[in-house]
Structure 1
């Protein structure tokens, strides 16, 4: 019984503090909350998962959006963007024998859902018309991240995911169900012809019932993070 008790206690101690919960600090500046959970499997291997959420708000980093889209008519000017993503990864710690610490390489897969709300403005001499458009885009990517994790104090850790490029595919659909007469259809088509992106394919349809935009094709992104964590 004594031997069994010692073995049980030893096993419990070996399992102590193999978990780490973290908050990514960088996304907070744009209203995004990203939480991570990491669990060590041995001194060189762990699994990590990230859940990120952003409520509908103004587009962050507008200069990046302006460089990614040809938008002469400012269709994205007042757009609202919401986002949700989940990213599992496997971490291989290379440079340290202590669990959850040191330089790591982390293959990952990511699913992201983006909701967009914007409008097209038809402004003629005798009337002013706004066509609201909303929808979602789903993206799946995979890649490899590199980073380093430090122990700052008892149970407190700092995780710097230096860079994590990912590549995959997307599909999305955005609709504006607003009746349009012939003149309005021509103006909306003209604006949409000048709206394009070098990052994805955009299919545009305009008829008397409104507007439909569909996206498809490749999708790329870069993951990075500076997270503070608590080990338990």
Structure 2
């Protein structure tokens, strides 16, 4: 019985003692500081795999606040409130650190690849003025799904033995967007031609040349658009 108990204790505590002696840590958690500006609480987990490679997983929750907001539509026929959204994002990634630091969490320059799954929900409400100058209140529930893939380059700066600052310098990629609207209080049929025209001229969508074609019988649109990642995070290894 004593031998069995000793064996169990050895199995539990031996890895801890070994890690203390070698001072090698393979796990790291982090908080994306830059995402807080947009009301998103993003957390990361990274695990060292071998001498240069690590794998990671990020998870973020978007609250209905933040400094970055989208202005509403304001045309002769359609006027809406400012657009806010909530949702979540999941980001698996793999990294290759250029400088070898042993089988522990790495620092310095890295490059890698990522994929991202995003779901956002929003409301679109406002007033539509038809060709007869009659005003109609409308309300839609919006749903946005984004599946993106891309590459990234960054630099991880050590501050202490465990604390680091991770600079994600650039992460260009391609995103596959699905926009869906659910009519709660629908306007007249002619509303959709005016909506599509307004969206084509709407801020960054016009810059991306996004061609929306919503119809009463088709409130779903798919587009392939550029995507980009960047940011600043603080991490802790253990």
TM-score by length of 2: 0.76
Task: Tell me if 1:107 matches 2:113.
Answer: yes
1:42 aligns with 2:45: no
Q: 1:206 is matched with which residue?
A: 216
Residue of 79, 82, 93 corresponding to 2:83 = 79
Aligned to 1:53: 61
Q: Is the partner of 1:48 in helix, strand or coil? A: strand
CA distance in 1, matches of 2:235, 2:16: 26
Greater strand content? 1
CA shift at 1:159, angstroms? 0.4
1:140 aligns with 2:156: no
Are the structure 2 counterparts of residues 75 and 179 from structure 1 closer, same or farther at C-alpha, using a change threshold of 3 Å? closer
Equivalent position to 1:217, from 215, 219, 223: 223
**SS of the residue aligned with 1:78?**
coil
Could you say what secondary structure the match of 2:192 adopts?
helix
Secondary structure in structure 1 of the residue aligned to 2:63: strand
Give the unaligned 5+ runs of structure 2.
Answer: 4-9
Alpha-carbon contact 1:123-1:129 (below 8 Å) kept: yes
| C-alpha contact (below 8 Å) 1:202/1:214 kept by paired residues | no
Residue 39 of structure 1 aligns to a residue whose secondary structure is: strand
Residue 32, structure 1, aligned to residue 35, structure 2:
no
**Which residue in the other structure is 1:22 paired with?**
30
Q: How far is the alpha carbon of 1:220 from its aligned partner?
A: 2.2
What's 2:189 paired with? 185
Deviation at 1:27, TM superposition (A): 1.2
How far the C-alpha of 1:155 sits from its partner, in A, is 1.1
Q: CA RMSD in A?
A: 3.1
In terms of mean alpha carbon deviation, does 53-62 or 127-136 score higher? Answer: 53-62
- Tell me how many residue pairs correspond in the alignment: 214
| Residue 71 (structure 1) shift | 6.3
Deviations 1:26-74 (A, max 9, x none): 1111211110101111231111111111023478254xx79xxx96466
Identify the range of structure 1 (92-101 vs 21-30) with the bigger mean alpha-carbon deviation: 92-101
Query: Equivalents in 1 of 2:153, 2:69: separation in Å?
Result: 24
Report the 3-state secondary structure (helix = DSSP H, G, I; strand = E; otherwise coil) of the residue aligned with 2:68: coil
**In structure 2, the residue corresponding to 1:43 is in which secondary structure?**
coil
- CA 1:141 to 1:75, structure 2 compared with 1: closer, same or farther past 3 Å? farther
